């Protein structure tokens, strides 16, 4: 019976290193855009003295640091180096 492999695993085995790096570059670019939007939201909330918007922006930054960033780093590492248990 064939084992079910994740998409990331299959990609890590089939793509060239250059293609993998381009994919990771796109992931990081999307995350950079996301964090820039949050920073702009934070600056606007400070300028307008809006405590609720400020807290929301801080929560977004914390979520990014604790959830999104490690996930992207792990996906990138797995895609580039193929660190999967066989």
Domain count within the chain: 1
Question: Dihedral (C-alpha) 76, 74, 54, 34: value to the nearest 10 degrees?
Answer: 20
pLDDT higher than 90, residue 72: no
- Assigned domain for 11 exists: no
- Assigned domain for 6 exists: no
> So what's the pLDDT on residue 47?
92
- Assigned domain for 86 exists: no
Which domain does 26 fall in, by range?
16-81
pLDDT higher than 60, residue 2: no
pLDDT higher than 90, residue 52: yes
Q: Residue 75 half-sphere exposure, CB side, CA atoms within 13 Å?
A: 17
Show Cβ contacts of residue 24 under 8 Å, excluding neighbours closer than 6 positions.
76, 79, 80
- Assigned domain for 10 exists: no
> So what's the pLDDT on residue 60?
87
- Assigned domain for 50 exists: yes
pLDDT higher than 80, residue 44: yes
- Assigned domain for 73 exists: yes
């Amino acid at each position: 019976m064939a084992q079910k492999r994740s998409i990331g695993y299959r990609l890590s085995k089939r793509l060239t290193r250059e293609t993998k790096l381009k994919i990771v570059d796109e992931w990081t670019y999307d995350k950079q855009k996301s964090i820039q939007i949050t920073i702009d939201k934070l600056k606007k909330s400070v300028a307008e003295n809006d405590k609720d918007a400020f807290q929301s922006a801080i929560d977004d930054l914390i979520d990014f640091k604790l959830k999104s960033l490690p996930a992207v780093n792990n996906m990138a590492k797995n895609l580039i180096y193929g660190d999967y248990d066989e």
